[in-house]
Amino acid sequence: MTREAGEKALAQCRERIDELDRRLVNLLNERSRIVEEIGRIKGECGMRIYEPRREEEVLRNIEEHNGGPMGHDAARRIFERIIDEMRTLQKLRMEDSRDGDKS
Amino acid sequence: MTREAGEKALAQCRERIDELDRRLVNLLNERSRIVEEIGRIKGECGMRIYEPRREEEVLRNIEEHNGGPMGHDAARRIFERIIDEMRTLQKLRMEDSRDGDKS
């Protein structure tokens, strides 16, 4: 492949990645909204936020549906980051619900 | 909300998350395939794998299309992890292309 043809193919790949990333962002925000909802439910019912068993369940679901080429370890590390970020969001919503009770 | 109603609402939320995660895994694998393709192109054309300017472009695209409730910092950290995992995959494919040249 010539350098010029390579540059052109690269530009096309990058457009596809940018479009795909926008879909990923939308899905992650959809996931965030459900996690916020869970935070509110847990806050209202006085449930615990950190549930290691549920986290293992989430990671098992990922692994079972990962057909590659992304490796299982890579998928696990990415979702551990997602879960971690969303736990923070859930904690905030849980506190909101409790504050709501007090007022 | 009673504890029982809370448990039921929680179970429904979790089903929605599991379904959403499967879609995320599929999109991440689609992204991986494009990244592998980029690796092959770069390998054939002798281009560099690490391009900080392109990475900034990817992160800017994320930030511009992030309508929340996921925060910008959280989105950035999640995508930095995704980029990092996929760089490893790209490196492998790039080496494959070069090895292919030698044989």
Q: What is the 3-state secondary structure (H, E, C) of chain A?
A: CCHHHHHHHHHHHHHHHHHHHHHHHHHHHHHHHHHHHHHHHHHHHCCCCCCHHHHHHHHHHHHHHCCCCCCHHHHHHHHHHHHHHHHHHHHHHHHHHHHHHHC
Q: Tokens 């009673």 appear where?
A: B2
**What stretches in chain B show pLDDT beneath 70?**
100-103
Shortest alpha-carbon distance between residue A15 and chain B (Å): 10
For the ranges A24-28, A45-49, B35-39, the maximum mean pLDDT occurs at A24-28
pLDDT score for A48: 85
pLDDT score for B101: 59
- Model ipTM? 0.92
pLDDT score for A6: 93
Shortest alpha-carbon distance between residue A13 and chain B (Å): 6
pLDDT score for B94: 78
Which of A27, A33, A85 to mutate to test binding with chain B, by most B CBs within 10 Å of its CB? A85
What is the overall mean pLDDT for chain A?
92
A66 contacts on B by Cβ (under 8 Å) = 25, 29
pLDDT score for A101: 59
What is the pLDDT confidence band of residue A72, given thresholds at 50, 70 and 90?
very high
Q: Assign domain B3-102 to its CATH superfamily.
A: Chorismate mutase (1.20.59.10)
Q: What is the pTM of this model?
A: 0.92
Give yes or no for B79 touching A (CB within 8 A): yes
B65 contacts on A by Cβ (under 8 Å) = 21-22, 25-26
pLDDT score for B91: 85
B51 contacts on A by Cβ (under 8 Å) = none
pLDDT at A102 over 60: no
pLDDT at A103 over 80: no
Give yes or no for A97 touching B (CB within 8 A): no
* CA–CA distance, A13 with B34 (Å, rounded to integer): 6
User: What share of chain A in percent tops pLDDT 70?
Assistant: 96
B38 contacts on A by Cβ (under 8 Å) = 10, 13-14
Higher pLDDT, A32 or A93: A32
